[in-house]
Amino acid sequence: MLAAAQFWSGKDPAQWTANDISRLLNDSPWAQQASASFGSSTDAPDMPAAPLPGPAQAGMAGRNGVSDGRWDGGVSKNVGVGVPSLPVMVRWDSALPIREALLKSQPQQDVVDQAQKDYILTVIGLVPAGRYRASSGHLATHSESDETLDSTGRASQDPEEMLEGLMAASALIPRDRPPIRPEDVKLDASTGAIHLFFPRTQPITLKDKEVTFTTHFGSMTISKSFRLKEMAYRKKLEL
């Protein structure tokens, strides 16, 4: 069972099945579920808040299901369950096994090229698909022709302020070392995936043992730790 769970250790990428690729991209040492938790207004950093996802986009069901019209599917209605949270995915798109899986499922040559320079962490599920206009970078400008409508029929918003806020609030923190700050951030407006680029000029090694990704999004906080010894691929740490 353990060998099957770590198929990437001895199975050639050319033989990966669709299920193998899905496992790598959604449930592997490089792709982990995290929770975006809500703090009080006094805990939130001084950064622009962004609109919260609708229930269908968040994929969360409360007692009344996602059809009750609330962004969290009714979670915040529950009494005594503590602070509500939103499930998100944090994935190392710069890691070689993830890049190989992405190339087989959704070719992205720009990600492959950028991975030589940066650690690329992608956050999925935090921003609704179509809520913002397309962006090539955190300082991208947009013309009126770029404006589209989201799933609710509202005009898509300019992501510049939101992306600048994420740039200021995000970090990779190796254990017992100063944080690494991102040098760029991009948004895939069609899916809502956020790509954060951290320079490799401060290399992360197995000696660090653990690295934590953290960011703030409005009143939400995300913190996810990764155990580096589990992120070996072909006998080499891959990030």
For residue 127, name the pLDDT band (cuts at 50, 70, 90): confident
DSSP assignments along 113-141, one per residue: HHTTTEEEEEEESSS-TTSB---SSTT--
* pLDDT, mean over the chain: 73
Is 81 within a domain? no
- pLDDT digits 0-9 by tens, 171-182: 999 999 999 999
Sheet holding 193-199, edge to edge: 171-174, 210-217, 220-227, 31-38, 85-92, 118-124, 193-199, 184-188
Q: Which residue has the tokens 């409508």?
A: 149
Domain span at residue 232? 2-39+87-141+152-237
Q: How far apart are CA 20 and CA 114, in angstroms?
A: 24
- pLDDT digits 0-9 by tens, 185-218: 988 888 888 999 999 998 999 999 999 999 988 7
- Indicate the pairing of strand 85-92 with strand 118-124: antiparallel
Is 69 within a domain? no
Is 171 within a domain? yes
Is 59 within a domain? no
If residue 87 lies in a helix (H) or strand (E), which one and from where to where? strand 85-92
Structure tokens at 140: 């991208």
Is 46 within a domain? no
How many domains is the chain built from?
1
> What integer pLDDT is reported at residue 164 of this predicted model?
86
Is 112 within a domain? yes
> What integer pLDDT is reported at residue 187 of this predicted model?
86
- pLDDT digits 0-9 by tens, 26-82: 999 999 998 888 764 434 344 334 444 433 333 333 333 333 433 333 333 434 455
